[in-house]
Structure 1
Amino acid sequence: MYAITVREPGGPDVLEWTEVPDPVAGPGEVVVDVVASAVNRADLLQRQGHYPPPPGASDTIGLECSGRIAQLGEGVEGWQVGDEVCALLAGGGYAEKVVVPAVQLLPVPSGVDIVTAAGLPEVACTVWSNIVAAGRLSAGETFLVQGGSSGIGTHAIQVAKALGARVAATAGAPDRLERCRELGADIVIDYHDDIPAELKKATDGHGADVILDNMGAKGLAANIDALAPDGRLLIIGLQGGAKGEVNLNKLLVKRASITAMGLRGRPVDGPNGKGAVVAGVREQVWPMIEDGKVRPIVHGTVPMPDAGKAHAQLEAGGVVGKLLLVTPGNG
């Protein structure tokens, strides 16, 4: 098969479409003929040499895909060769074939085409495991997502709205703020402004019960200020740095909590494993997609052999939703 390989850590030009050995399904695994994958921020870090795959995972970039099952490993039940699926991966998505633990498979939702489905697993699993499983977001609460026009953000806005929350979102330009509003955000805030002050003004001083943040250290103090009493801050990215100072007194006074939670390095099995996350998504998020409350947002598609162009586009900014990589013959 062919896959994207990284010639050496560096810019988008180091990504090459190269012939590599076909994968083989082990016990509990399937091989998927990949139709499409999607570009995530983590992929850019891996290309640069800053985010190696967890032990045992493929060295090939790509945290999600869609396609058709080509081979079943020993002990796999509930799936058949030819089934159209999408999958959460620890790596391997930028390829014509990929091995996936069967518990990380999802059916392509009804009403969604197989290419578009490639952009769903990573955002759906990240958002569900954070704002629902860990953040316990409930109807009537206020939810703030930092970076509302991103792949994660566009999905989080819709899921939070479907759960009955009042939704606030930040973005850095008027057109992206308007896109957040179109997706269901009740409050939109330019992230260049004083976010805690603007949020409290819009919520009569309450703030956010749950915040989903991808910046890390850079936004830490402002996020704590924006939290409501008993608020939950969920950190899923470190675009603004890994080390910050926490005012513990503010957390104590608010009875607030901070959770930092990755997805890629989780084990496959167990109560907090990727299989459990995928099962929760299938049960709770897939119905939202199938009844139209949550839509996959796709910025555009790029042929997979040109993955470097997609990386450059994401790095340049302005992407709303997901960029998809389509394998030859499927786009």
Structure 2
Amino acid sequence: MWEGIEARVVENDRDAVVPLRRAFLAELVRSDLRPGTATKKMVAFDTTGGERLVWQVEATAQNFFLHRKWSDRVEAAGFVVKLFLYQNGQKDGARHSGLSRDWSFRTSDCIQVRVDSVGRLKELIALVGGDKGELALDPTAIARWIGVIRTMFPGFRHFDPPDSEFDQRERSYKLETSRNLRAGLEAASTDSEVLDAVLASISLKSSNLLDWRTSLPLMPNGDGDKELLQPALVRLARAALGPPEGHGAAMDEFVAVWRAAMPNPSDDPPRQIAEFLFFHLWPDSASYIRNIVRQDLWREGTGRPFPRHTQVSATYADELRFMRAVRAAFAERIWPRGT
């Protein structure tokens, strides 16, 4: 891949030699960026976390492009930023064709970042590929999500003070399930009592979060191997009562048993069941989300597909990163009083 980029640099040098172009290429090679598609004018790179950076290798070679979600952070770092909107109905979105391809930003808005030295390029790469603990989310996506809440709940303005209609429809029944589940598990003295408490919590009479097909293999009429699944569910529930630091490993163990106990296993049902327990027992630090919803919201918020992982615990870790980022963004806009 780097050979292809080198060829594009040579091709552009025939038109005009730009010393910064070679210096930037050397720095990009030293970085942790993964090279992607290279045309004469545009070269794509991905960070180890999956963020996209595109270098306009032609002309002065000073322009780099990022998804628009990075605009605030990049400007705060002192870079000059220009917005390149994607305009529906226009050829290539009425911008450079290389910005509207599958290997760049497709139909997402992006920003141009002027970089005039190797030192500044290092800063930009560090900013985009740095701390994996915090996601950058597109402000337009956050605004749309808040708009959806306010459309569904016309009287909603912010969570502090709470909105009574929102609480009644979206929060109260979850809190009741949480109280009943924790009480049942803490009172249980045998594995059988732990199992009963969990099965009662995931029934449709208690909560509508889990589709009945998801938990059916655990029920008497389901097709799962109960001799494997039920003890594993008990172990998962006991782990769920423990600190969140151990939840990922407990989820992986439950998924492994599920694979052995089901005729046609999928990792998503056991992930949902585990997250259901974590979410109700640790609502301030856990997550529950449907797979399709997660895929759609992640792509809208980050501008890229949700990462694929071999371990379900890694999927859960990324979900938690996403939820923390959404919570922080919502806090800025609708938690403070007076918004």
TM over 0.5: no
The structure, 1 or 2, with the larger RCO (C-alpha pairs under 8 Å, 6+ apart) is 1
**Which protein is richer in helix relative to its size?**
2
Give the alignment's TM-score, normalised by structure 1: 0.24
> Which protein shows a greater Rg?
2
Q: Which has the higher strand share?
A: 1
- With normalisation by structure 2, the TM-score equals 0.23
